[in-house]
C-alpha cells in the first residue's frame, strides 16, 4: 500500500528502562524489548550492577537466551560481558577495593564516555572489553591514597 507507515517497535517503558539501567541490566532490557543494543550498554552490567550481578555474570558464562535471528550479532556481546565481569571480579579479588570504588572510580565514567561517543565510533566486543580493563588499570595507577592494594 502506497503511503502506509511501517510499525516501529514501541520505545521501552521509561520506568523499566531506568530500573534496568540503574541495576546493571540495561542490555538485557533492550534485548528483551527487541531493540538494538549499543556497545556501551553491555558495560552497564559491571558499571552499575550489584556484586551479585557481577559475580553471577562472571560465573554463569555466555549462555544467552534464545536470540533468534539476532544470534550472530548478540552472542559476541554476551561473551564480552562475561569477560568484563571476570576482569572486574579478578580485580576485586586481587585488591582491597570494593565494587563501588571500582565502579565510581573507573567504570561508570567509561560507560558514560562510551555512550557519549557511540555516534562517533563503533566499538566491538573485544575493544570494549579491553577498555574496561584499561580503565581499571588507569584507576590502579592513579590510586596513591592507599584506598586499595593491588597484587
Longest dimension (CA), the chain: 68
The mean pLDDT value for 2-12 works out to 60
What confidence category does residue 7 fall into, taking pLDDT thresholds of 50, 70 and 90? low
Query: pLDDT digit string (tens) for 79-99?
Result: 999 999 999 999 999 888 899
Nearest to 36 by CA among 91, 73, 65, 86: 73
Query: pLDDT digit string (tens) for 45-79?
Result: 999 999 999 999 999 766 677 788 888 899 999 99
The mean pLDDT value for 106-122 works out to 94
pTM: 0.84
% of the chain surpassing 90 pLDDT: 62
Which triple of cell numbers denotes residue 91? Answer: 580485580
The mean pLDDT value for 115-129 works out to 93
Task: Tell me the domain boundaries of the chain.
Answer: 37-142
Integer Cα distance of 88 and 90 in angstroms: 5
pLDDT surpassing 70 at residue 12: no
Integer Cα distance of 47 and 102 in angstroms: 8
Residue 140: the pLDDT is: 84
Amino acid at each position: 500500500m502506497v503511503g502506509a507507515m511501517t510499525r516501529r517497535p514501541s520505545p521501552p517503558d521509561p520506568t523499566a528502562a531506568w530500573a534496568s539501567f540503574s541495576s546493571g541490566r540495561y542490555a538485557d532490557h533492550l534485548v528483551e524489548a527487541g531493540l538494538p543494543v549499543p556497545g556501551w550498554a553491555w558495560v552497564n552490567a559491571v558499571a552499575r550492577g550489584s556484586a551479585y550481578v557481577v559475580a553471577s555474570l562472571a560465573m554463569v558464562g555466555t549462555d544467552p537466551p534464545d536470540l533468534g535471528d539476532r544470534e550472530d550479532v548478540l552472542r559476541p556481546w554476551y561473551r564480552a560481558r562475561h569477560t568484563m565481569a571476570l576482569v572486574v571480579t579478578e580485580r576485586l579479588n586481587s585488591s582491597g577495593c570494593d565494587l563501588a570504588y571500582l565502579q565510581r572510580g573507573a567504570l561508570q565514567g567509561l560507560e558514560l564516555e562510551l555512550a557519549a561517543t557511540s555516534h562517533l565510533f563503533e566499538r566491538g566486543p573485544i575493544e570494549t572489553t579491553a577498555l574496561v580493563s584499561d580503565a581499571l588499570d588507569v584507576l590502579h595507577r592513579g590510586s596513591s591514597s592507599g584506598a586499595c592494594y593491588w597484587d
